[in-house]
Structure 1
């Protein structure tokens, strides 16, 4: 077994990865791809690290909203401040699940609170606050630091691809700058290779000379079809390998390869209740599409020897 994928059990998923990499890196072969075109894109929440009982980023937002509700009691009866103040993880996590089912009502409310929570903060201050939360906080149910919530098999995959001259990007529906705070430290992916959602920014002259500051309105929600658009706008190439775990990743996976390039599409299936969480909520369409298209489904239970370290 290839030690570079040491946490992957020998089986269909692992073979699909190693066979694909061998084919696209064998010069003179029918599927050979020049190193410049070996682009891989990988989702973050639920693909590179855990996303239950709610996405890690939502805990960061919750902390900020709860502090606002502490200072302004009238906010405690309004969502999302109410959920933050009461630690209602079901409402917060449910907003994301409902989004993947096509219902954005609660997500819109949550995003409205997020925009208010960080309006006026400089990008550097937001990055510092995100890093502080991620380095010193812990998962509410797993009892481990957030950096330890990454999946070792997926981090191994990133290194394996890079060893074969792939350029790997994170393409997430989560906030770009939140992920950038620890992307290099946890995943070995530099900040400039993180594609994600973002608030609108503006330039302001201040005591530092000048800053880029968050505004109270959205810029991009990097999910669904927008993911494919953002990948092209940031990278200028189609990926040949992609990995995701939710309905919002379908367009990214469909965009992979295209008419002139080979493709490997990986779908992470959360089916290990003992070691992590078992769920398909928000992934129903993706799993159906994977079955129809012959995409490679990665079973957390069957394909990974370890889920966390």
Structure 2
């Protein structure tokens, strides 16, 4: 079991917890209540040097800027057109530090980038993106940028009667076309940020209005709204996962990116989460020390 996890305290803690909640006794949890929730970016797949979804969006913003000089003159279209990915990464980091000025600019552009098309057309655009593009520095298909120890953990939990969900700040409809193949998670168990939809002549159309930004304190709200049960296992990697981890009554896992050789080493956007892990007793999974492999071979 969990062969892609090195023997040590982290693996032992996971196996011990699963054993206790699946064995008759004081800690036993009925199968219907064995709910596990996983963040996606940085928890299940790689999020550096930029979010995968950001590449998808930047390509669209650059295409829009190429046909409209007024758009090209303002952010985030300028950054997209010039390939300035650092601007986008800084906007997200500022958000986690409490400054949303750049994120608001980004959000408005993101909401309008794919508006006015059917949900099937959007899914087709996403599928084409994943089929055609590779990670810029790892030089592997984006669909091969999932963390194999975490995929193994998903399957391990499912084999022990858990129902696993993705609860991500990433776009729900960006993840859904690939989560079944990458993780074995069907689309109905993907919870993420979303735009409002409208029905028209037998189709569902995207709009430029935000429905949910599934991050921070919104994650527990969405978990309850979609699942109706409190998780007993949660995994995340950033400050945006804190409230989800706090809401979970059972086992909290925090992925630490400390492996510059096999992935990336960084703590930006996770400082508060790592501090809380020490005070709250959460289990920290060191990518460097706890994972025998990182990506599919």
> What is the TM-score with the length of structure 2 in the denominator?
0.98
Aligned-partner SS, 1:271: coil
Kindly indicate whether residue 207 of structure 2 is the aligned counterpart of residue 215 of structure 1.
yes
Matched, 1:38 2:34: yes
SS of 2:111's equivalent in the other structure is helix
In the alignment, which of 4, 7, 12 is matched to residue 10 of structure 1? Answer: 7
In structure 1, which of residues 284, 295, 300 is the aligned counterpart of residue 282 of structure 2? 295
Unaligned runs of 5+ in 2: none
Decide whether the 8 Å contact of 1:57 with 1:174 is kept in 2: yes
Partner of 1:73: 69
The aligned counterpart of 1:252 is 244
Deviations 1:13-43 (A, max 9, x none): 111110000000002x110000000000000
Aligned to 2:253: 266
Residue range with higher mean Cα deviation, 211-220 or 150-159: 211-220
The match for 2:156 is: 160
Please state how far the C-alpha of 1:156 moved relative to its aligned partner: 0.1
Instruction: Please give the alpha-carbon distance, in whole angstroms, between the structure 1 residues aligned to 2:97 and 2:237.
Output: 14
**Whole-Å separation in 1 of the counterparts to 2:183 and 2:48:** 19
Report how many residues are paired.
296
Q: 1:100-111, aligned counterparts within 5 Å?
A: 100-111=96-107
Query: d(CA) in 2 for partners of 1:42 and 1:81?
Result: 31
Partner-residue secondary structure (3-state), 2:207:
strand
Mapped partners of 2:100, 2:50: distance in 1: 16
Q: Which residue of 1 aligns with 2:225?
A: 233
- Shift in Å at residue 74 of structure 1? 2.3
How far apart, in 1, do the equivalents of 2:258 and 2:80 lie? 29
| 2:177 corresponds to 1:185 | no
| Worse-matched range after superposition: 34-43 or 196-205 | 196-205
Which runs of structure 2 are paired with 1:46-65 in the superposition (5 Å)? 46-65=42-61
Q: Distance in 2 between matches of 1:284 and 1:171?
A: 20
Cα separation, 1, equivalents of 2:50 and 2:89? 4
RMSD value, Cα: 0.8
Secondary structure at 1:32 match in 2: coil
Which ranges of 4 or more aligned residues in structure 1 deviate by more than 4 Å?
Answer: none
Equivalent residue for 1:260?
none
Task: Quote the offset at 1:196 in angstroms.
Answer: 0.3
Alpha carbons 1:52, 1:93 under 8 Å: kept: no
